[in-house]
Amino acid sequence: MTDEITYGSMKDLKVGRFVMIDGVACRVVDIETSAPGKHGAAKMRITGIGIFDGQKKTLLKPSSGDIEVPVITKKKAQVVSVTDSTAQVMDLETYETFDLPIPEDVKGSVKAGSEVEIMDSMGRKAISRVMGG
């Protein structure tokens, strides 16, 4: 699991990047920075959305602090079949098949035979977008 996490600085974080918050891989959606005070460094409040569960998480740290960054690999897969809220997809490199929940934002465009992009991190997978098909 240690090879799936790298370390970075709070100052280098930008909206749209990924960060670990409470052990969950999250996409950064908002960054607030407070001015340095009389007794300490500037603080940064990071708001992220979990890429696998969709939950909102918040991280508060000094701007000079270190953060954990998940290593996320993106792969192409083909949709084999679609049920109500899950899709059976086949990895186009290894040809393994697995069932994944369909995210709400792409629910109407996931059809059997279409190509999707999946994100893989820390042993979990999720459909990120529909490529076409």
Q: What percent of the chain has pLDDT over 70?
A: 96
Token look-up 């977008």 returns 129
Phi, psi angle pair for 105, to nearest 5°? -75, -15
Please state whether the predicted TM-score (pTM) of the whole model is above 0.75: yes
Domain with CATH 2.40.50.140 in the chain: 73-132
Kindly report the average pLDDT of the chain as a whole number: 89
pLDDT above 90 (res 132): no
Topology annotation, domain 2-70: SH3 type barrels. (2.30.30)
Q: What is the pLDDT of residue 68?
A: 93
pLDDT single digits (tens) 31-78:
999 888 777 788 999 999 998 888 999 999 998 899 999 999 999 999
Q: What is the pLDDT of residue 1?
A: 47
N-terminal to C-terminal alpha carbon distance within the chain: 34
Topology annotation, domain 73-132: OB fold (Dihydrolipoamide Acetyltransferase, E2P) (2.40.50)
CA dist list (Å): 96 to 66, 78, 91: 36, 11, 6
Q: What is the pLDDT of residue 118?
A: 92
Residue scoring higher pLDDT (37 or 9): 9
Q: What is the pLDDT of residue 42?
A: 87
Which H, E and C letters describe 117-131, residue by residue?
A: EEEEECCEEEEEEEE
Q: What is the pLDDT of residue 117?
A: 93
Q: What is the pLDDT of residue 133?
A: 59
